[in-house]
Amino acid sequence: MNVKLKVLTAGVLFFIGGQVVMAQKKPKIDTAAKEKKIEEVVILGYSKTATKAKDVTASTTISSEVIENRPNVSFLNSLQGAAPGISVASFSGSPGSAKIDVIIRGLSSLNAATTPLYVIDGLSSNSTQFRNINPNDIESISVLKDAAATSIYGNRGANGVVIINTKQGKFNSGIKFSYSGTTGMSVYPKNKYEMANAKQALTLDNLVGYGLGSTMTPDEIANFTTNTDWNKYFFHPALTQQHDLGVSFGGEKVSVYTSLGYLNQGGLVPTTDFKRFTLRNNIRGKSANDRFSFNSQIAVGYSKRNQLDQEVNSGINANVIQNPLHGSLIGLPYLTPNQFNNGYDLFNAIGTSFSYGNNIYVLEDVLKRNSLPSWFTETSLLANIAASYKVTPALTLSNKAGIDYKSNDRVFARSPWSYLALAVQSSRPGEAFGGFERVSNDKDFTFNNVVSLNYSKLFNDKHNLDLGVYFEYMKAHYLFNQYQQNGLDPRTYVPGAGTGYVSTILNPVNGSISYAHTTSASKIDAGSLAAFATLDYDYAGKYGLSGVVRRDASYRFVNDLKWATFWSAAGRWNIDKEEFMNGSTFDLLKLRASYGTQGNQNLVDPVSGFNPIFLGSNLVRDLSTTAIGYNNVAGSFYTSQVANVILQWEEISQFNVGLDFRLLGRRLEGNVDYYIKKTNQLYNDVNSSAINGFYVYQGNNGGLKNQGIEGLLRYRFINKDDAKLSLFVNVAYNKNTITNLENPQITGSLINEVGGTAYQWNLYHYVGVNPDNGNLLFLDKDGNNTEAPTDADRIKTGKSYLPKYQGGFGLNAEYKGFFLDTLFSFQKDTWKYDNELAWIMDPGAIGDYNVSSQLLNAWSSTNTTSNVPSLFAANVALDGNSDRYLTDASFLRFKSFTVGYSIPSKKLANTPIKSFKIFVQGENMFVWTKWKGFDPEGFTTFPLGAYPNPRTISLGTNIEF
Amino acid sequence: MKKIIKFIFPLLILLLSNISCNDAIDIVQDGEFSNDATFLSVSDMQKYLDGSVYSSVNISNEIKFTSVFTDEVGLGSANSGQDQTLHRFYLDVSDGYVSGIWISHYLLINRVNRLLQGATKVTPNPEVTGEVDKYNSILAQARALRAFAYIQLEAYFSTDMKDSTALGVILLDHVPTVAEKLPRAKNSDIFSLIEADLNFAESNLTSVLSYYYINKASIAAIKARYYLYRGDYTLAKQYANSAISLSGLTLTKATPIPSGNSSLSPGVYNGTSNPWHTSLNSTSSTNPYRKMWNDSSQGEVLFALARPTVGTWENIASLYTTNTTSATGSPLFDMGRNLFNILVSNSGDIRKYVFIDPSAKVDGNYLTSTSPKTTDVLVIDKYPGKGTTALRNDIKLFRLSEMYFILAECATKENDLPTAANYIKAVRDARNYLGPQTAPVYADATAAWTDILLERRLELCFEGHRYIDIKRLGTLAGQTNSIDRNEVDDIIKPLPLTIPNSDHRFTLPIPLDETLANPTIQQNPGY
- Mean pLDDT for A61-67 is 89
Residue A660 pLDDT > 60? yes
Q: Give the single-character DSSP code of A251.
A: -
Half-sphere exposure of residue A643, counting CA atoms within 13 Å on the CB side?
Answer: 20
- pLDDT for res A33: 36
In this complex, the residue of B47, B107, B212 whose CB is nearest that of residue A637 is: B47
Q: What pLDDT, on a 0 to 100 scale, did the predictor assign at position B364?
A: 86
pLDDT range class, residue B483, cuts 50, 70, 90: very high
**A455 to chain B: closest CA residue:** B5
Note whether B355 and B72 are within 8 A (CB). Answer: no
State the smallest CA–CA distance between residue A845 and chain B in angstroms: 30
pLDDT computed for residue B270 by the predictor: 54
When scoring B3, B23, B33 by the number of chain A Cβ atoms within 10 A, the one with the most, hence best to mutate, is B33
Residues in chain A with CB shorter than 8 Å from the CB of B170 are 689-691
Residue A884 burial (CB count, 10 A): 23
Residues of B in contact with A475 (CB under 8 A): 23-24
Q: Is residue A939 within 8 Å of residue A802, measured between CB atoms?
A: yes
DSSP run (H or E) holding B473: helix B466-473
* A38 pLDDT higher than 60: no
Q: Are A280 and A258 in contact (CB under 8 A)?
A: yes
The conformation of residue B522, written as its DSSP 8-state character, comes to P
Stretch (H or E) spanning B244: helix B233-247
Closest Cβ opposite residue A691 in set B31, B50, B170: B170
d(CA A349, nearest CA chain B) in Å: 38
Compute the average pLDDT of residues A71-76: 92
Give the confidence band of A16 by pLDDT, cuts at 50, 70, 90: very low
CA-nearest residue to B32 within chain A is A623
Task: Check: CB of residue A317 under 8 Å from CB of residue A945.
Answer: yes
Which residues in chain A have Cβ-Cβ distances shorter than 8 Å to B103? Answer: 690, 693-695
The pLDDT of residue A43: 87
Higher pLDDT, B9 or B259: B259
For the segment A530-540, the average pLDDT, to the nearest whole number, is 95
Angle formed by the axes of helices B187-204 and B216-230, nearest 10°? 160
Q: What is the pLDDT of residues B52-104, one digit of tens each?
A: 999 999 999 999 999 999 999 999 999 988 999 999 999 999 999 999 999 99
Residue A742 with chain B: CB contacts under 8 Å: 516
CB contact under 8 A, A629 and B50: yes
Flag whether pLDDT at A6 surpasses 80.
Answer: no
User: Strands B167-170 and B184-186: what pairing?
Assistant: antiparallel
CA A763-A767-A772 angle, to 5 degrees, is 135
pLDDT band for A9, please (50, 70, 90 cuts).
very low
Chain B residue nearest residue A562, CA to CA: B25
Q: How far apart are CA A267 and CA A239, in angstroms?
A: 8
Q: A883-913: per-residue pLDDT in tens?
A: 999 999 999 999 999 999 999 888 888 888 9
Taking contacts as CB-CB distances below 8 angstroms, the residues of chain B near A637 are 38, 44, 47-48, 50-52
pLDDT in tens, A920-934: 999 999 999 999 999
Kindly identify which residue of chain B lies nearest to residue A553, measuring between CA atoms: B25
**Whether the Cβ atoms of residue A895 and residue A940 lie closer than 8 Å to each other:** no
Search chain A and give the residue with CA nearest B172: A691
* Confidence at residue B6, expressed as pLDDT on a 0 to 100 scale: 56
Closest chain A residue to the Cα of B179, Cα to Cα: A688
Nearest by CB to residue B176, choosing from A471, A692, A695, is A692
pLDDT tens, position by position, B107-160: 999 999 999 999 999 999 999 999 999 999 999 999 999 999 999 999 999 999
Binary contact (B311, A632; C-beta < 8 A)? yes
Cα–Cα nearest to A659, from A645, A668, A670: A670
Closest CB to A453: pick one of B12, B37, B50: B12
* Nearest residue of B to residue A617, measured between CA atoms: B29
Is A633's CB within 8 Å of B5's CB?
no
> Given pLDDT bands bounded at 50, 70 and 90, which one contains residue A34?
very low
Residues 6+ apart with CB under 8 A from A782: none
Q: How far is B28 from chain A (nearest CA, A)?
A: 7
Average pLDDT over residues A539-565: 95
Query: Rounded mean pLDDT of B381-391?
Result: 93
Minimal Cβ distance to B29: which of A617, A629, A635: A617
The pLDDT value given to residue B13: 56
Contact B29 A697 (CB under 8 A): no
* Per-residue pLDDT tens over the stretch A337-379: 999 999 999 999 999 999 999 999 999 999 998 999 999 999 9
Mutate to test the interface with A, among B18, B20, B50, B392 (most CBs of A within 10 A): B50
Measured between beta carbons, the chain A residues lying within 8 angstroms of B51 are 626-627, 629-630, 636-638
Question: Average pLDDT in the A685-690 region?
Answer: 94
Calculate helix-pair angle for B216-230, B400-413, nearest 10 degrees: 40
What residue in A sits closest to B20 (Cα-Cα)? A473
d(CA B155, CA B171): 15
pLDDT of residue B267: 40
Confidence class of residue B14 from pLDDT cuts 50, 70 and 90? low
Range list of H helices, A337-416 = 343-350, 359-366
pLDDT at B20: 65
CB contact under 8 Å between A395 and B103, yes or no, is: no
d(CA A608, CA A436): 25
Judging contacts by C-beta atoms under 8 Å, the chain B residues touching residue A627 are: 51
| H or E element at residue A551 | strand A543-554
Q: How confident is the model at residue A12 (pLDDT cuts 50, 70, 90)?
A: very low
Contact A691 B28 (CB under 8 A): no
Q: What average pLDDT does range A730-743 have in this prediction?
A: 94
Nearest beta carbon to residue B103 from set A524, A635, A695: A695
Reduce the DSSP state of residue B50 to 3 states and report it. helix
Dihedral pair phi/psi, residue A836, rounded to 5°? -65, -40
Considering only CB atoms, which chain A residues are within 8 Å of B8? Answer: 391, 395, 397, 453
Strand, helix or coil for residue B338: helix
Verify whether the Cβ–Cβ distance A689 to B180 is below 8 Å. Answer: yes
By DSSP bridging, strand A117-120 and strand A161-166 are parallel
Q: What is the pLDDT of residue B40?
A: 95
Cβ neighbours of B177 in A, within 8 Å = 643, 645-646
Inter-chain CB proximity A646 and B8 less than 8 Å? no
CA A7 and chain centroid, separation:
31
Nearest-CB residue to A636 (from B51, B99, B170): B51
ipTM of the modeled complex? 0.93
Please say whether the beta carbons of A708 and B120 come within 8 A. no
The residue in chain B having the minimum alpha-carbon distance to the alpha carbon of residue A394 is B1
For residue A14, what are the contacts with CB-CB under 8 A and spacing of at least 6?
Answer: A40, A41, A42, A43, A61, A62, A63, A140, A142
Whole-model pTM: value is: 0.89
Closest Cβ opposite residue A624 in set B33, B54, B306: B33
β-bridge mates for residue A50, sequence order: A42
Instruction: Please classify residue B464 by burial: count the beta carbons closer than 10 Å to its beta carbon, then call 0-12 exposed, 13-18 middle and 19+ buried.
Output: buried
The answer to whether the CB of B415 falls within 8 A of the CB of B421 is: no
Q: Which of A155, A141, A160 is nearest to A85 (CA)?
A: A160
Count of pairs with CB atoms under 8 A, one residue in A, one in B:
183
The percentage of residues in chain A with a pLDDT greater than 90, rounded to a whole number, is 85
The beta strands (E) that lie in A129-211 are given as 138-144, 161-166, 174-187
| A229, A232, A235, A237: CA torsion to nearest 10 | 170
Hey, are the CB atoms on B47 and A688 less than 8 Å from each other?
no
pLDDT for res A1: 31
Compute the mean pLDDT over every residue in chain A, rounded to the nearest whole number: 91
